Amino acid sequence: MAATTSSHDEIKKAAPEPELQSPLIPSSVAANGGMKPPEKLCFDEMLQMYCGEFGRWQMRHFVFTTFAWALEAFHTMVIIFADREPEWRCVPGSKCDPAASTVCDLEPGTWEWVGGPRMSTVSEWGLICGNKYKVGLVQAVFFGGCMIGAGIFGHLSDSNLGRKGSLTMVCILNTITGMLTSLAPNYLSYVTLRFLTGFSTGGVGLCAFVLATEPIGPTMRGVAGMSTFYFFSSGIALLAGIAYLFPEWRQLYIASTLPSLLYILFVLPFVSESPRWYLVKGRIKAAMAIMSAIATTNGNHLPPGVILALDEDLCSPAVTPAIKNKEEVSGCVVDIIRSRVTRTRLFLSVAINFMCSVVYYGLSLNVVNLGTNLYLNVILNSISEMPAFMLTTLFLDKLGRKPLTILTLWFSGFFCFLGSLIGNKGAWKGVRMVCSILGIFGMAGTYNLLFIYTAELFPTVVRNVALGCTTQASQMGAILAPVVVILGDWWPFVVFTVCGMSGGMFAFYLPETLNQPLYDTLTGMEAAENESDATTSV
């Protein structure tokens, strides 16, 4: 009997006790130790729901980052003044014809440069007559460096270096090469240093644009992104003032490079890394720290039970139990080409950017020949672009990215076509000049659109790689533009017409991105595209 009782007690101890659970507590909460599981949100959703799309944090971050565009304008356009052909005058008592159209028709020693031979590289190294092509060669080499640098830094900013790290590196390189350029002893070293400056300059606008716009919400991203070009145009106008104060080319290079050093020392320390980049790299804690700072600075509150997630993770029913880092997601050009969605977008974006650059830089070179004060010309050219930026910004969210891109390309192409029909004699010179200015006006609007449009066409993991490819295409167009201008007469306008009209037709095949989310990964973008195709077919 005692044995039976003991056996019965052992059975009772071995049997598991039933779990008591309140019917009001979900099973997922009970499994998580009685705590509610974190709410997973994509980046744009967290901005819209909790942090704010464009508050004080984004405004400060945007302005500090976009200052770099003015620096890019300094390093790019300084060649207009440094490589200009100064005025000349006859030496008193010599057999010199002051009415001669060019110094190539005069005997050596009968004329001299106004201000001395150190006013520009042309006067110091004799880049005139048979050596005049060397001036254009410097420009082509610079943009060649930009083309290479845009691709390399586009990849680095998407990889381990990050957006801020890449921007810091290109600014440091620009400071070093800009200062060394002022010490160039001969033409060959000058060309080499300009190539190196172009190499770093090619990544400045690219990295600054992505870093400035990624923390901004979808409803304000377009307007903010297009505002970056005001900094570039303002930089050109400011450079004209600097060049007026420092007319000698070596002094000018020093004066135009110092702002890059000041930017590194006093502005970049206050610029934050992109939280989107942290997210795709699997550094969730770092991304959440910045999102919390955004919410706090904007006067909002980010609840503790909310975490960031990649868009592809939101397709999975699994719930992340805590805020912790995960394996990073990366991409390259090969990934863009492999994807059915992004492959076509990349090819079209490259073609449109190339044609836009040929027209913009080509028309800019023609406008320089207005025959008026060089400093005033540069200021007027930069100011004339600003109304285009304003109008495209106003209509960006009303007409959409795609229709506005087509409209501005065709607007420029139309006036280039008129310019090809108008002669260059008498009063018709003024009419052709107006057509050229209106062509620049339209193409400046297109340039303003293309950065934000291209950025929205690709996911975060390959966004800078894609922008690097399109920027390389733009630099190729910039290299070709002087060659087109050399054709002379009405031929350049014909080429500009073909580029403008063809670019508009290519834009027809791009999708609209207005109010669409910025996807983080290729998988997330492809899933959304497939879902959209399925809905359309039904």
Q: pLDDT tens for residues 268-320?
A: 999 999 999 999 888 999 999 999 999 999 999 999 889 988 866 664 444 44
For the chain, the distance separating the N- and C-terminal CA atoms, rounded to the nearest angstrom, is 76
Where residue 321 falls among pLDDT bands split at 50, 70, 90?
A: very low
pLDDT at 533: 63
What integer pLDDT is reported at residue 195 of this predicted model? 96
pTM to 2 decimal places: 0.78
Domain 330-526 coded CATH 3.30.9.10: no
> What pLDDT shows up at residue 532?
67
Tens digits of residue pLDDT in 150-205: 888 888 888 888 999 999 999 999 999 999 999 999 999 999 999 999 999 988 98
Return d(Cα 349, Cα 457) in angstroms, integer: 9
> For the residues 108-126, what does the mean pLDDT come to?
89
The CA distance from 482 to 463, in Å, is 30
Q: Would you say residue 25 has pLDDT above 60? A: no
Helix (H, G, I), strand (E, B) or coil at 26: coil
Side-chain half-sphere exposure of 437, counting CA atoms within 13 A: 18
What is the pLDDT of the chain when averaged over all its residues? 83
**Range with lowest mean pLDDT among 17-21, 67-71, 203-207, 512-516:** 17-21
Instruction: For the chain, give every domain's residue range.
Output: 38-90+115-312, 330-526
pLDDT at 488: 67
Q: Which residues contact residue 44 at a Cβ distance below 8 angstroms, ignoring those fewer than 6 apart?
A: 217, 218, 517, 518
pLDDT at 4: 45
- Better-scored residue on pLDDT, 338 or 357: 357
For the stretch 351-406, pLDDT in tens is 999 999 999 888 877 655 545 577 877 787 788 788 888 888 888 888 888 999 99
Q: Is the pLDDT of residue 36 over 70?
A: no
Give residue 12's pLDDT band: very low, low, confident or very high (50, 70, 90). very low
Of the pLDDT bands very low, low, confident and very high (cuts 50, 70, 90), residue 538 is low
Res. 3 pLDDT band, cuts 50 70 90 = very low
Looking at the predicted structure, is the pLDDT value of residue 329 above 60? Answer: no
Q: Which residues contact 284 (CB under 8 A, 6 or more apart)?
A: 278, 307, 308, 323, 324, 325, 326
- Average pLDDT over every residue of 48-72: 95
Structural domain 38-90+115-312, CATH architecture: Up-down Bundle (1.20)
Tell me, what's the pLDDT at 17? 46
* Cα–Cα nearest to 379, from 230, 237, 239: 237
> Quick count: other Cβ atoms within 10 Å of Cβ 105?
9
pLDDT surpasses 80 at 222: no
Does residue 29 have a pLDDT over 50? no
- For residues 25 and 453, the model is more confident at 453
Return d(Cα 251, Cα 238) in angstroms, integer: 16
What mean pLDDT is predicted for residues 461-477? 83
Q: Is the pLDDT of residue 61 over 50?
A: yes
- Residues 224-239 have pLDDT tens digits of 887 888 898 899 899 9
| pLDDT interval class at 26 (50, 70, 90) | very low
Asked whether the domain spanning 330-526 has the same topology as the one spanning 38-90+115-312, the reply is yes
What is the reported pLDDT for 316?
43
Least confident of 13-17, 52-56, 140-144, 260-264: 13-17
